[in-house]
Amino acid sequence: MQRLKTRISRSFVLVVLCFLALAVVLRAADPLFVQALRFIAFDSYQRLAPQAYDPDLPVRIVDIDPASIARLGQWPWPRTAMRDLVMRLTEKNAAAIVFDILFGEKDRTSLDEIVKRLPADKAARISGLIDGQTNDEAFAEALKAAPGVLSIILTNDKSVAPLEMKAGIVFAGDDPKPFLHAFPGAEGNLPLFNSAARGLGSMNLVRNHDAVVRQAPLFFRLGDKIAPSLAAEALRVAQGASTYVLKSSNASGETAFGQSTGLNHVRIGALEIATDSASAVWLKFRHSNPAAFIPAWKVIAGEIDESEIAGKIVFVGASTPGLLDLRATPLDAALPGVEIQAQIVEHILAGRALTRPDYAVALEQLLVVAFGLLVAGAMPRLAPASAAALGAFLPLVIIAGGWISYRYWDLLFDPVYPSLALLLLTGGITFYIYRRVEIQRGEIRSAFGRYLAPEVVEDIIAGPEKLTLGGEMRQLTLMFCDVRNFTAISESLTASELTTFINELLTPLSDIILRERGTIDKYMGDAIMAFWNAPLDVSGHAERACRCALEMTDKMSDLNEMWRVRAVAAGQPFDDIRIGIGVNTGECCVGNLGSEQRFDYSAIGDEVNVTSRLEVLTKLYGLPAVISEATVKGSPNIEFLELDLVKVVGRTTPTRLYTPAGVLDCAPAQFARLRPLHDSFLRLYREQSWDDATDALAQCRGVCIRRLDTYYSLFAARIENLSNASPGPSWSGAYTMTEK
pLDDT at 120: 59
> Please, which pLDDT band fits residue 257 given cuts at 50, 70 and 90?
very low
- Mind giving me the DSSP string for 88-153? HHHHTT-SEEEE-S---S--TTSHHHHHHTS-HHHHHHHHTT--S--HHHHHHHHHHTTTEEEEEE
Domain ranges within the chain, ordered by starting residue: 2-47+357-445, 60-349, 469-663, 666-740
**Do the beta carbons of residue 705 and residue 674 sit within 8 Å?**
yes
Tell me: pLDDT of 81 over 70. Answer: yes
Is residue 449 exposed (0-12), middle (13-18) or buried (19+ Cβ within 10 Å)? exposed
| Lowest mean pLDDT segment, chosen from 47-56, 58-67, 152-161, 474-483 | 152-161
Task: Look at residue 65 in the predicted model and tell me its pLDDT.
Answer: 85
pLDDT value of position 185: 83
Measured CA to CA in angstroms, residue 75 lies from 98, 108, 110, 323 at distances of 18, 11, 14, 8
Beta bridge partners of 590: 472, 603
Say what the pLDDT of residue 454 is: 65
* pLDDT band per the 50, 70, 90 thresholds, residue 584: very high
Task: Of 73-82, 149-158, 642-651, 673-682, give the range with the top mean pLDDT.
Answer: 673-682
- State yes or no: pLDDT of 663 exceeds 70: yes
Look at residue 324 in the predicted model and tell me its pLDDT.
Answer: 63
Which of 489-493, 573-577, 702-706 is predicted with the least confidence, judged by mean pLDDT? 489-493
**Residue environment code for 284-312, b if the CB has 16+ CB neighbours within 10 A, otherwise e:** bbbebeeebbbbbbbbbeeebeeeebeeb
Write the pLDDT tens digit of every residue in 185-204: 888 888 888 888 899 998 88
More confident residue, 75 or 676: 676
Q: Which residues contact 340 (CB under 8 A, 6 or more apart)?
A: 205, 213, 216, 327, 329
Helices 541-569, 495-515: inter-axial angle, 10-degree rounding: 150
Q: Are 595 and 579 in contact (CB under 8 A)?
A: no
Residue 322 is predicted with a pLDDT of 62
What is the Cα–Cα distance from 83 to 92, expressed in whole angstroms?
Answer: 14
Mean local confidence (pLDDT), 519-526: 86
pLDDT at 475: 94
Query: Measured on CA atoms in the order 56, 57, 58, 63, is the torsion positive or negative?
Result: negative
Q: Does residue 323 carry a pLDDT above 70?
A: no
In angstroms, what is the C-alpha Rg of the chain? Answer: 46
Query: How many other C-beta atoms are found inside a 10 Å radius of the C-beta of residue 509?
Result: 23
Strand partners, 626: 582
Is 80 exceeded by the pLDDT of residue 58?
yes
In the predicted structure, residue 256 carries a pLDDT above the cut 50: no
Q: What is the pLDDT of residue 64?
A: 87
Percent of the chain with pLDDT over 70: 85
Q: Hey, how many other C-beta atoms are within 10 angstroms of the C-beta on 652?
A: 7
Which pLDDT score is estimated for 463? Answer: 60
From CA 487, how far away is CA 489, in angstroms rounded? 5
pLDDT score of 700: 94
Instruction: Find the mean pLDDT for residues 702-719.
Output: 93
Q: Classify strands 293-295 and 280-282 as parallel, antiparallel or unpaired.
A: unpaired
Greater model confidence, 360 or 109: 360
Which residues have CB under 8 Å from 582's CB, separation 6+? Answer: 479, 480, 481, 611, 612, 613, 614, 615, 616, 617, 618, 625, 626, 627
Residue 676 has pLDDT above 90, yes or no: yes
pLDDT in tens, 405-453: 777 787 777 787 787 777 787 777 777 766 776 766 666 666 565 545 5
Mean predicted confidence (pLDDT) in 453-481: 71
3-state secondary structure labels for all residues of 439-488: HHHHHHHHHHCCCCCHHHHHHHHHCHHHCCCCCEEEEEEEEEEEECCHHH
Q: Which of 624, 620, 459, 640 is nearest to 532 (CA)?
A: 459
| Lowest mean per-residue pLDDT among 323-337, 559-573, 599-613 | 323-337
Q: Are 592 and 448 in contact (CB under 8 A)?
A: no
- Kindly report whether the peptide bond that precedes residue 535 is cis, defined as omega within 30 degrees of 0: yes
Q: So what's the pLDDT on residue 19?
A: 78
**Closest alpha carbon to 311 in 230, 238, 235:** 238
Q: Assign residue 209 a region (left: φ > 0; alpha: ψ between -120 and 50; beta: otherwise).
A: alpha
Q: 311 near 93, Cβ under 8 Å?
A: yes
pLDDT for res 159: 63
Let me know if 544 is exposed, middle or buried by CB neighbors in 10 A (0-12, 13-18, 19+).
Answer: buried
Residue 465 pLDDT class (50, 70, 90 cuts) = low
Biggest alpha carbon–alpha carbon distance for the chain: 161
C-beta neighbour count of 123 within 10 angstroms? 13
The C-alpha atoms of residue 383 and residue 397 are separated, in whole angstroms, by 21
At 547 the pLDDT is 96
Confidence of residue 460 (pLDDT cuts 50, 70, 90): low
Q: How many residues does this entry show for the chain? A: 740
Bridge partner residues of 217 (DSSP): 280
- Residue 283 sits at the vertex; the CA angle it makes with 49 and 309, to the nearest 5 degrees, is 100
Element (H, E) at 650: none
69 near 244, Cβ under 8 Å?
no
CB burial of residue 169 (10 Å; 0-12, 13-18, 19+):
middle
- CATH number, domain 469-663, options 2.160.10.10, 3.30.70.1230, 1.10.10.10, 3.30.70.1520: 3.30.70.1230
Residue 704 or residue 1, greater confidence: 704
Query: What integer is the mean pLDDT of 361-380?
Result: 77
Q: Are strands 472-483 and 599-604 parallel, antiparallel or unpaired?
A: unpaired
Is 224 within 8 Å of 251 (Cβ atoms)? no
Q: CB of 210 within 8 A of CB of 37?
A: no
SS3 736: strand
Report how far apart, in Å, the C-alpha atoms of 703 and of each of 642, 664, 716 are: 16, 12, 16
% of the chain beyond a pLDDT of 90: 25
Strand partners, 315: 61, 98
> E strands along 229-354, which residues?
243-248, 263-268, 271-274, 280-282, 293-295, 313-318, 326-327, 335-336
Confidence of residue 696 (pLDDT cuts 50, 70, 90): very high
Query: Phi first, then psi: what are they for 456, rounded to 5°?
Result: -70, -40
Q: 218 to each of 50, 283, 592, 675, how far by Cα in Å?
A: 23, 12, 77, 85
**pLDDT of 669:** 92
DSSP letter at 169 equals E
Among residues 613, 608, 558, 605, the alpha carbon closest in space to that of 581 is found at 613
Per-residue pLDDT of 118-172, as tens digits, reads 565 555 555 555 566 687 888 888 899 899 899 888 888 776 656 778 888 888 8
